[in-house]
């Protein structure tokens, strides 16, 4: 069968099985074998990009999410309300099947009011592309909506004030699967003190929704050897999104 006539989901799955695209490089993985790095390729040309389908539920969710954003965007519940430049609510498809949850906005996100738009965000975009999706197909947000000064760790009172916002976003979006990025997001949503190494690779749930915990893209930039386990995790995310029982 040629690529033109192949079912887009089957095509995405074939790409998921065989190819990992991170940082502009393509890794061909022979069954059971060692990944072999190929010369860099343009991501968009290599990965099928299923179109986002606007649904009635999607447009209702869109209005509800926007109304919620307007309600909370001037938040001063914690001290970060006084130091932020922009409130970073979240971005993407309000009817997304996948919600990615990071830690908190960094400098670039605080400047632009959008999540994951700095260096780590660029890698996240490539990971999403390697899953056969685009940023507009998924929803991306953080545990905290405002940047902690100097990117310090979020404090318990900040989390306590901000997490209900994320909970409400997830209630509105009703994704099929949540993917937490990094130890902080996983520990917060799973009410756990366990390490990232122990939390990943296991099935979890948040409010009845399957949750896959994986490494933060910023950690992958520092520790490229974690890209392989991350790819295993995001394949699970894609399978849950496709309705495949794990």
Rule CB under 6 A: which residues touch ligand URA?
A: 102-106, 109, 115-116, 118, 120-121, 142, 218
Minimum CB separation from ligand URA for residue 105, in Å?
5
Cα 93 from chain centroid (whole Å): 12
Instruction: Kindly tell me which of 88 and 129 has the beta carbon lying closer to ligand URA.
Output: 88
Cα 202 from chain centroid (whole Å): 17
Minimum CB separation from ligand URA for residue 156, in Å?
17
- State which residue has the least CB distance to ligand URA: 102
Pairing of strands 209-214, 36-38: unpaired
Angle subtended at Cα 146 by Cα 142 and Cα 148, rounded to the nearest 5 degrees: 105
Minimum CB separation from ligand URA for residue 103, in Å?
4
Instruction: Kindly tell me which of 61 and 105 has the beta carbon lying closer to ligand URA.
Output: 105
| Residue 96, token pair as written in the block | 């997304």
Cα 183 from chain centroid (whole Å): 14
At what angle are helices 227-241 and 119-130 packed, to 10 degrees?
50
Minimum CB separation from ligand URA for residue 116, in Å?
4
The continuous run of DSSP H or E covering 214 comes out as strand 209-214
CB 142 within 8 A of CB 104: yes
Instruction: Kindly tell me which of 109 and 137 has the beta carbon lying closer to ligand URA.
Output: 109
Minimum CB separation from ligand URA for residue 51, in Å?
26
| Residue 92, token pair as written in the block | 């993407």
The three-state secondary structure class of 101 is strand
Residues 6 or more apart whose CB falls under 8 angstroms from that of 41 comprise: 21, 24, 25, 26
Instruction: Kindly tell me which of 106 and 132 has the beta carbon lying closer to ligand URA.
Output: 106
The continuous run of DSSP H or E covering 91 comes out as strand 91-92
Instruction: Kindly tell me which of 27 and 118 has the beta carbon lying closer to ligand URA.
Output: 118
Minimum CB separation from ligand URA for residue 147, in Å?
9
Instruction: Kindly tell me which of 16 and 196 has the beta carbon lying closer to ligand URA.
Output: 196
CA torsion sign, 113 to 118 to 124 to 129? positive
Minimum CB separation from ligand URA for residue 214, in Å?
13
Instruction: Kindly tell me which of 61 and 118 has the beta carbon lying closer to ligand URA.
Output: 118
């Amino acid at each position: 069968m040629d690529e033109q006539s192949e079912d887009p989901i089957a095509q995405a799955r074939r790409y998921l099985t065989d190819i990992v695209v991170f940082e502009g490089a393509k890794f061909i993985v022979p069954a059971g074998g060692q990944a072999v790095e190929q010369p860099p390729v343009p991501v968009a040309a290599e990965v099928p990009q299923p179109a986002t389908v606007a649904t009635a539920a999607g447009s209702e969710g869109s209005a509800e999410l926007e109304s919620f954003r307007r309600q909370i965007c001037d938040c001063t519940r914690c001290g970060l309300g006084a130091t932020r430049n922009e409130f970073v609510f979240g971005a993407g498809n309000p009817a997304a099947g996948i919600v990615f949850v990071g830690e908190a906005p960094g400098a670039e996100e605080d400047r632009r009011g959008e999540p994951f738009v700095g260096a780590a965000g660029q890698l996240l975009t490539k990971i999403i592309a390697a899953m056969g999706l685009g940023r507009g197909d998924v929803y991306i947000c953080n545990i905290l909506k405002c940047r902690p000064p100097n990117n310090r760790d979020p404090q318990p009172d900040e989390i306590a004030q901000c997490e209900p916002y994320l909970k409400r976003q997830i209630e509105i979006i009703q994704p099929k699967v949540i993917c937490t990025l990094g130890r902080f997001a996983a520990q917060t949503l799973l009410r756990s003190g366990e390490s990232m190494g122990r939390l990943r690779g296991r099935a979890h749930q948040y409010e009845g929704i399957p949750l896959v915990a994986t490494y933060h893209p910023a950690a992958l930039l520092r520790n490229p050897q974690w890209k392989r386990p991350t790819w295993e995790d995001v394949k699970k995310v894609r399978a849950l999104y496709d309705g495949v029982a794990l």
